[in-house]
Amino acid sequence: MATSKTNGSQTAVISTEHTLSTITDAGSYVLGVDTSNMVLGDKLTLRIKTKIRGVGTTRTTYIANYAHTQGTPNALSIPIASPHEFVATLEQTDGTGRVFNWEVTGL
């Protein structure tokens, strides 16, 4: 059964990568972001970073880019299995800084 692990709201500052959540519990997780506030000219990048080993370096595992108004505003990542660390980030690279509601769900 899927359960909410963390959630919140992030007001984007253009060209700033905002860390939404850092989870160190082993599990599989999905990042969900509501992109309904995006308009023509907005660009958004969502990233998930993980560690391969507990003593390893946190590196980008998943990246998704969105631009302009979204016809399907609920953006969901693929499930990411992470035994050591799961870090979800959001970066708006263009447009006017928007407010994004988000949630990380544990599977």
Distance (Å, rounded) from C-alpha 6 to C-alpha 30?
Answer: 11
96 pLDDT band, cuts 50/70/90, is: very high
Element containing residue 106 per DSSP (H, E)? strand 99-106
Answer for the pair 90, 100: CB distance below 8 angstroms, yes or no.
yes
Answer for the pair 5, 105: CB distance below 8 angstroms, yes or no.
yes
Q: What is the pLDDT of residues 42-88, one digit of tens each?
A: 999 999 999 999 899 999 999 999 999 999 999 999 999 999 999 99
pTM of the model: 0.95
* Number of other residues whose CB lies within 10 A of the CB of residue 52: 14
